[in-house]
């Protein structure tokens, strides 16, 4: 009796796990074509994802390069700013000493 109940359970499991085989009326061509259609759809989706990943990698590379450039420019500007600040302070010091003289 245990064998008789196992077969319907296996059939129910197969139906639950294989919905692509059962969404169209059953005949010999439909299950294969349904699976083929699903495989083609998944293949196309995978190809699209591969292209998207490539585009994101390229964008990420470009953004990292831009970040490096901006970081370098910022360091140069900070250095120039410090030089200008020192020169302005020196001029103010000279002006104060001229004023006192």
- The residue ranges of every structural domain in the chain are 2-100
Residue 66: predicted pLDDT: 98
Residue 5 has pLDDT above 50, yes or no: no
Query: Picking from 10-14, 58-62, 85-89, which range would have the lowest pLDDT averaged per residue?
Result: 10-14
* Residue 75 banded pLDDT, cuts 50, 70, 90: very high
**What's the pTM?**
0.54
What are the phi and psi torsion angles at 23 (to 5°)? -85, -15
Give CA–CA dist 5/3, Å, rounded. Answer: 6
């Amino acid at each position: 009796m245990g064998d008789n109940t196992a077969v319907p359970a296996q059939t129910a499991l197969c139906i639950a796990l294989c919905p692509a085989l059962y969404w169209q009326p059953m005949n010999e061509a439909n299950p294969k074509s349904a699976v083929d259609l699903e495989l083609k759809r998944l293949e196309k989706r995978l190809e699209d994802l591969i292209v998207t990943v490539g585009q994101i990698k390229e964008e990420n590379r470009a953004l990292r390069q831009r970040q490096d450039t901006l970081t370098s420019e910022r360091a140069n500007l900070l250095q120039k700013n410090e030089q200008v600040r020192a020169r302005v302070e020196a001029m103010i010091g000279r002006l104060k000493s001229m004023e006192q003289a």
